Structure 1
Amino acid sequence: MNTNIVVSLDERREKKDGSFPLVMRLGHNKRTTAIPLNISLKKKDWDEELRVVKKSYVGTNSVTRLNHIIQKSKSEAMDIILKLNENGRLQGMSILELRGHLVRKNAAISFYDYTEQQVQELISANRIGTARSYKGVISVLKTFTNNKELYFKDITYSFLKKFENSHLGKGGSYNGLAVYFRTIRAAFNKAIKEGAIDKDNYPFADYKIKSVPTEKRALDLSLLQIIIKKQIDSDDICFNARNYFVASYMMYGMNFTDMAFLKKANIIDGRIQYRRRKTSKLYDIKINPNLNKILQHYISLDEDSPYVFPIIKRDSALLQDKDIQWARKRYNIKLKKLAEKCEIEQNLTSYVSRHSFATQAMLQQVPLNAISAMLGHSSLKTTEVYLKSLPSNILDDYNAKILQ
């Protein structure tokens, strides 16, 4: 049987008081995950060799009883594992399925402990962006609850409405709120799937996440042409920003992260062949002369770098994510200067090239499902959001026809 449980301190997640969560570390089929015991201890109060709480611990009336509770939790988990093994079900189970069997199905599970564990697993899987979303939700909820413990059972319809009112009362937007709530909903869905909580505790059956249309992001074709044709010297502060914007537009509205990870090896026989990091969708894009000029410029800058664009400088996933975040921030700042240089009043951001590509494809009567495929969307609804705001001149033309 290739499955075991060890009780230990999770030293990766130190709390503000210097304590660490006590977890059951589950190992199964060469993978590991943690099951929180909702107990936090400082290192001095935990005997790592004997796997027991030391008598020095003053956070309980009876250390002996606390150790009994810990051992009982481990024994109950091992009993479930042995029964699954006897029934021939154990080896065919994934570690998440097994974890769901071991976690008691009640709502008294810390939302923070659970989501912080998800952060660690996401980082291990190099899903840094999603891990950042979870960390953002943890931070904002801790502020809202004044750092009080938060259990899944506490996150009710009423709790979500209070959070909504607080967020909007501070000047936050519905769309910003929707980002938080989609992450909370994802945590609930995962916890239910794993068997950590019951479906009865799901608040999103009643609470509907709201969002509102954003301001127009797509540029009119005439403005795009100004950016594409603008003569900008290589020592100009806007040189890279303009090139990145145009390259993104010409590569099906490629997002900034995918551009950062684009490798020279992805350029094959005059085409760009790569997988989008968010969806793993495979792309095969023909390189036109204008795009080729931009790509060749950056490829020649650093022959030793595997990447096309000089964005990623470091090796680990976390540091690469920081490289991208820093570069995107600088990119957006320079895009504002580019807009001034091109006398464009509309707000220019890293998303505008993507939305502009989608809108221009629609105006060329490219079918919606084809546009969706080119953008790498998993749903046509997402594509429809991109295309909600038609350019003003198109609406003016339609209006003129109506009023004739």
Structure 2
Amino acid sequence: MKTNITLSLDSRRKRKDGSCPIIFRLSHHRKTIAISSGISLPPEYWNEKKREVKKIYQGVSSVSRLNNMLTKKKTELRDGINKLEENDKLNSLSISELKRFLTKTDDTHDFFVYTKHIINELEEANRFGNARAYKSAYGALKNYYKKENLRFEEITYAFLKRFETWHLKKGNSINGLSTYMRTIRAVYNKAINQGLVGVEKYPFKKYKIKSEPTAKRAISKEKIKRILDLELEADTPLFHTRNYFLCSYLMNGISFIDMAFLKVENMIDGRLQYRRQKTAKPYDIKVTHQLSSILTYYLKGKRKSNYIFPIVRRKNLQDQYYDVQWERKRYNKRLKEIAQLCGIEEHLTSYVSRHSMATNLILNDVPINALSKMLGHSKLQTTEIYIKNLPTHIMDEYQERLEL
């Protein structure tokens, strides 16, 4: 899609004095956005055909000089677009990113301000999960660096090491630090791609992000059956918690957020068909007899457009993500109560159902490529992580098979 810049009078934004702003209308990836010229005038003095101010306008000392100034600015913006195109960077930019590059406002060189721009763009695109990750890293860095502004050039190898030390001294985890650092790196890479900071300043050439393997907890089928057999009063918080856990297990380890956004219309001919929130990858899961017996309770009296589970309660999309976030916290808290009632020593979380599903399929000799597809992994290496973290007693059983 060709990128264009045109002069225009924005008649939709008429001011109190009757004038309208002259803007540079930027078109990119089938979207448009306005770049202010700082000039406004009454609509009758704008020549839409020639896209210039009419000579009869008396609001300035020289109309010719004003039109020349606007033409010069338009040429500068066009040159900026051409430069990006020559360097093969144009197509990778969103329209908001392109605008920031072309206008080169001073605040875009500030890491905090620039990160806020990214967060706003993600929220405008309804990518609230990603926005939350950027907010988290932004907040952590703000807590560490007490100053109002942080220029990209100040984020050096030494700066990152000091942030690392500060984070770990507070008793926080290596993996929490890893999440923050990957987000900081992503912001820096975006700024480089937009030409806001030079690649020679890139601190991650030297700084290596650390991480630790997380313990993947899975529970046996016998313990999952204990959860299934648990007698709970219908429509109580623990009743729903038990059902969410079992549904996640029976639906190929579906994530809590994907389960929350499932609608009745996702059930088609005895199958659940949906796209994962995180990756937009399509899933097509058979509704087994056991799964159907749980879903039937939630489907009663609902229309196709209704959510299956009582998790999402509001209409605004951002509010819905907050609903899911809040309910997931309560879900994980109540899973501890479920574990106590069932005599399960393992720490139950929303992820345990997924890891249990994968582990139990591995123990039933399901081929790894089939398991990878069921889990929605694009790489077998990701699925192999589940094999590396099989419980010790299972590895012992495998070893015993060596006996002659």
Q: TM-score, normalised by structure 2?
A: 0.77
Out of 94, 97, 103, the position equivalent to 1:96 is 94
- Provide the residue aligned with 1:62 in structure 2: none
- Provide the residue aligned with 2:27 in structure 1: 28
Change in 2 beyond 3 A, CA 1:151/1:292: same
How far did 1:100 drift?
A: 7.5
Change in 2 beyond 3 A, CA 1:26/1:330: farther
- Provide the residue aligned with 2:182 in structure 1: 182
Partners of 1:219 and 1:204 in 2: how far apart?
Answer: 39
Out of 60, 77, 82, the position equivalent to 1:81 is 77
Report SS of the residue matched to 2:208: coil
Contact 1:108 1:153 in 2 (8 A): no
How far did 1:296 drift?
A: 1.5
Unaligned runs of 5+ in 2: 9-22, 42-69
1:3 aligns with 2:5: yes
Is the deviation greater in 328-337 or in 357-366?
357-366
Partners of 1:385 and 1:254 in 2: how far apart?
Answer: 17
Change in 2 beyond 3 A, CA 1:49/1:137: farther
- Provide the residue aligned with 1:41 in structure 2: none
Partners of 2:257 and 2:329 in 1: how far apart?
Answer: 12
1:240 aligns with 2:236: no
How far did 1:31 drift?
A: 3.3
1:165 aligns with 2:165: yes
How far did 1:101 drift?
A: 5.5
- Provide the residue aligned with 1:14 in structure 2: none
Unaligned runs of 5+ in 1: 7-23, 36-46, 51-73
Report SS of the residue matched to 2:284: strand
Q: How does 1:80-229 map to 2 (within 5 A)?
A: 80-83=76-79, 94=91, 96=94, 98-99=98-99, 102=102, 109-229=109-229
Contact 2:100 2:108 in 1 (8 A): no
- Partner AA of 1:256 in structure 2: F
- Provide the residue aligned with 1:71 in structure 2: none
How far did 1:329 drift?
A: 1.1
Report SS of the residue matched to 1:238: helix
Report SS of the residue matched to 2:109: coil
Contact 1:100 1:196 in 2 (8 A): no
Report SS of the residue matched to 2:337: helix
Partners of 1:26 and 1:151 in 2: how far apart?
Answer: 29
Q: How does 1:297-316 map to 2 (within 5 A)?
A: 297-300=297-300, 302-303=302-303, 306-316=306-316
Change in 2 beyond 3 A, CA 1:366/1:147: farther
Partners of 2:34 and 2:386 in 1: how far apart?
Answer: 39
- Provide the residue aligned with 1:58 in structure 2: none
Write the deviation string for residues 157-211 of structure 1: whole angstroms up to 9, x where unpaired. Answer: 2111111111111100001111111111221222223333222222222222111
Contact 1:115 1:134 in 2 (8 A): yes
1:231 aligns with 2:231: yes
1:251 aligns with 2:233: no
Partners of 1:310 and 1:368 in 2: how far apart?
Answer: 34
- Partner AA of 2:232 in structure 1: I
Q: How does 1:352-367 map to 2 (within 5 A)?
A: 352-367=352-367
- Partner AA of 1:278 in structure 2: K
Partners of 1:105 and 1:48 in 2: how far apart?
Answer: 18
Change in 2 beyond 3 A, CA 1:255/1:332: same
- Partner AA of 2:176 in structure 1: G
Change in 2 beyond 3 A, CA 1:199/1:366: farther
Report SS of the residue matched to 2:388: coil
Partners of 2:178 and 2:6 in 1: how far apart?
Answer: 40
Partners of 2:170 and 2:215 in 1: how far apart?
Answer: 21
Change in 2 beyond 3 A, CA 1:149/1:399: same
Q: Let me know the Cα RMSD of the aligned residues.
A: 3.5
How many corresponding residue pairs?
353
- Partner AA of 1:28 in structure 2: S
Contact 1:314 1:320 in 2 (8 A): yes
1:371 aligns with 2:371: yes
How far did 1:148 drift?
A: 3.5
Change in 2 beyond 3 A, CA 1:294/1:145: same
Partners of 2:142 and 2:134 in 1: how far apart?
Answer: 12
Change in 2 beyond 3 A, CA 1:381/1:338: same
Partners of 1:306 and 1:26 in 2: how far apart?
Answer: 40
Partners of 2:109 and 2:357 in 1: how far apart?
Answer: 45
Between the two structures, name the one with larger relative contact order (CA 8 Å, sep ≥ 6).
1
Q: TM-score, normalised by structure 1?
A: 0.77
- Partner AA of 2:5 in structure 1: T
Partners of 2:222 and 2:374 in 1: how far apart?
Answer: 22
Identity of aligned residues (%): 44
How far did 1:236 drift?
A: 4.6
